[in-house]
Structure 1
Amino acid sequence: MSLQYILDGLFPAGHDVSVHGQLVAGCAETALGTVAVLGTTDAAAIGHDIALGLAGQVLDVVDQHPGRPIVFLVDTKGQALSRAEELLCLNGSLAHLARCVDLARRQGHTSLALVTGEAVSGGFLSFGLMADKTYALADAQVRVMDLKAMARVTKIPHERLQELAAESPTFAPGAENYLRMGAIEAIWDAPSAALLEAALAGQQAAGPAADERMARGAERGGRHLAVATAAAVVSA
């Protein structure tokens, strides 16, 4: 699914979005007014350049367009994997991006993320899951780590991880499993202006609120212990 097709489906009233490498930035028109459009395309690996570039774009929106909603388009295969990126402390750049998204929220910017292709590990966490709500297209591939890679790291046999993935969404890749865990609010069959505008309107009406993802995960049977564990930590 091309970026142009996605943009045309989400913003039929018009959009002015440019692509610099694999970084997406611009604005678009909706029934609710102009929104900022930021994100990645072509399964980008998030290195310092993209992380800091996105962070700068978020700060520009906060500075130049107070209160403008932000729509994040997520297509990333995760953080860039190289010794150079790690030696330059990529974790710091990813954390900076996450803090910028949080700053936008605290400054009154409603945000929504839509997974359009891949959404993997730190690249996804740093801005896709930092949005107020996260959605995914039906053919999106969402995961923290491939099961074979997980087997190498945990020393748990791949076959056993496959069995666990069949029983628990916390081990399993796929948008449906992240929906069950509450990380994804809903899955959309196709890019839709009506769905996007309804999601933004609902979030704007709700206003700043506590993160409901743990509660959603409990309701959907994907995370049984998170709510009770968090409550116990807070009350300790």
Structure 2
Amino acid sequence: MQWTDLTQALFGTQHSVTQQGDFLSGEGRCNGQAWTVVGSTNHAPIGVELALAQARVVLDTIRQKPGQPILLLIDTQGQQLRHRDEVLGINRAMAHLGCCIDFARRQGHVVLGLVYDQALSGGFITSGLIADACHALPEAEIRVMRIPAMSRVTKISEDRLLELSKDNPVFAPGVNNYVRMGGVQSLWTGDLQACLSAAFQSALNSNRQEDPRPMLGKERGGRTKAHDIAHAVAGA
């Protein structure tokens, strides 16, 4: 889905979201609730400038609009892979974005992520996976690594990884596997305004100090050990 169609579905005409290159920012109003909207489009690689631009919107919201919820619109191919960004400190810029999102949550802002197209690697980790909850459209594509790249890194054959991916979502790309693992809380279909409002109320009513993803992964059969191991370590 194009971001223009998405913002129309979420906010109707009650939004000021604009595009500057690959950068999206603005505000929207859904069922009477004002939202800060920030994100990316065009399968954007997240470089230094884009990471800092998104972080600035988050910080401005904390400073100027206390408590206003933030919606992250996610469409990224991951971090920008070029020498210039490495020299400028892409790792610090992306860490700064993640810290700003976490700081917003600690200051009482509900932060929701919505993967509406593509979410890969570091560009997803420092946005949607740090939000109070991350949701996705059914047609979205989410993965950390393609099977061939995973094979090169793990030294496990592609055939073996494909076989493992049939039963273990950790080895398989795809939005449904991230739902099973708990990384994506739900898929939004139908009335997207109703989905956004319901996700907002769910975040408000949840224990925002506890990460729900390990329990979701256990309940959905995608990560059966993470929750119990984390609690065992915390209690050790």
| Alignment TM class, shorter chain as reference | over 0.9
Offset of residue 8 of structure 1: 0.4
Residue pairs, 1:118-133, within 5 angstroms: 118-133=118-133
Offset of residue 233 of structure 1: 1.7
- Give 1:152's aligned residue: 152
Question: 1 CA distance for matches of 2:235 and 2:55?
Answer: 34
AA partner of residue 140 (structure 2): A
Which secondary structure does the structure 2 equivalent of 1:60 belong to? Answer: helix
Question: 2 CA distance for matches of 1:205 and 1:224?
Answer: 25
Residue pairs, 1:93-112, within 5 angstroms: 93-112=93-112
Could you tell which deviates more after superposition, 172-181 or 6-15?
6-15
> Structure 1: which 5+ residue stretches go unaligned?
none
- Give 1:183's aligned residue: 183
- Give 1:213's aligned residue: 213
- Give 2:18's aligned residue: 18
2:163 is equivalent to residue 163 of structure 1: yes
AA partner of residue 97 (structure 2): L
Q: Deviations over 1:89-131 (max 9, x none)?
A: 2111111100000000010001111100000010001011111
AA partner of residue 62 (structure 1): I
Could you tell which deviates more after superposition, 224-233 or 100-109?
224-233
Which secondary structure does the structure 2 equivalent of 1:28 belong to? Answer: strand
Which secondary structure does the structure 1 equivalent of 2:19 belong to? Answer: strand
AA partner of residue 133 (structure 2): K
AA partner of residue 218 (structure 2): A
Inter-CA distance 148–190: structure 2 relative to 1 (3 Å threshold): farther
User: Normalising to structure 2: TM-score of the pair?
Assistant: 0.96
- Give 2:143's aligned residue: 143
Question: 2 CA distance for matches of 1:113 and 1:192?
Answer: 14
Offset of residue 191 of structure 1: 6.5
Q: Deviations over 1:131-181 (max 9, x none)?
A: 101100010000011111111222211111111111200010011000000
- Give 1:39's aligned residue: 39
Q: How many residues align?
A: 236
Question: 2 CA distance for matches of 1:13 and 1:203?
Answer: 25
Asked if the contact 1:13/1:30 (under 8 Å) is kept, the reply is no
Identity of aligned residues (%): 43
Backbone CA RMSD of aligned residues: 1.3
Question: 2 CA distance for matches of 1:235 and 1:66?
Answer: 35
Question: 2 CA distance for matches of 1:92 and 1:100?
Answer: 12
> Structure 2: which 5+ residue stretches go unaligned?
none
2:8 is equivalent to residue 8 of structure 1: yes
Question: 1 CA distance for matches of 2:190 and 2:198?
Answer: 15
AA partner of residue 72 (structure 1): L
